[in-house]
């Protein structure tokens, strides 16, 4: 990482997000994941953008409706 908090795709994937760079590449194609930039034709990530994206992914379980369990009818053994 350089002084301005700019990461390569590999640094962002492996050091910060604990995933493979290919996952970030797939996410970019699907228009999901953290904001990125192209500098000199190469993908770069700003640490602040990654942190902001991670905050947007947070889920507070106390504010989620309870999970609904589907009842599955099982066949009785003969």
Q: Has residue 77 been placed in a domain? A: no
Place of tokens 């000199």: 40
Of the candidates 16, 14, 19, the one whose C-alpha atom is nearest the C-alpha of residue 46 is 16
Q: Has residue 71 been placed in a domain? A: no
**pTM strictly above 0.85:** no
Q: Has residue 70 been placed in a domain? A: no
Q: Is the pLDDT of residue 77 over 80?
A: no
Q: Has residue 69 been placed in a domain? A: no
How many domains is the chain partitioned into structurally?
1
pLDDT of res. 34? 95
Q: Has residue 65 been placed in a domain? A: no
Q: Has residue 68 been placed in a domain? A: no
Place of tokens 């500098």: 39
Question: What domain range includes position 37?
Answer: 6-58
- Per DSSP, the three-state class of 39 is strand
Q: Has residue 31 been placed in a domain? A: yes
- Please give the helix or strand (H or E) that residue 6 lies within, else none: strand 6-8
Q: Has residue 78 been placed in a domain? A: no
Dump pLDDT digits (tens) for 13-38.
Answer: 998 889 999 999 999 999 999 999 99
pLDDT of res. 62? 86
The set of residues, in sequence order, having a beta carbon less than 8 Å from that of 27 and lying 6+ positions away, is 33
């Amino acid at each position: 990482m350089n002084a301005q908090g700019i990461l390569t795709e590999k640094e962002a994937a492996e050091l910060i997000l604990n995933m493979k760079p290919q996952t970030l590449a797939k996410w970019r194609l699907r228009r999901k994941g953290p904001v990125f930039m192209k500098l000199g034709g190469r993908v770069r990530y700003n640490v602040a953008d990654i942190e902001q994206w991670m905050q947007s992914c947070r889920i507070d379980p106390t504010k989620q409706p309870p999970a609904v369990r589907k009842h599955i009818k099982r066949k009785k053994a003969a």
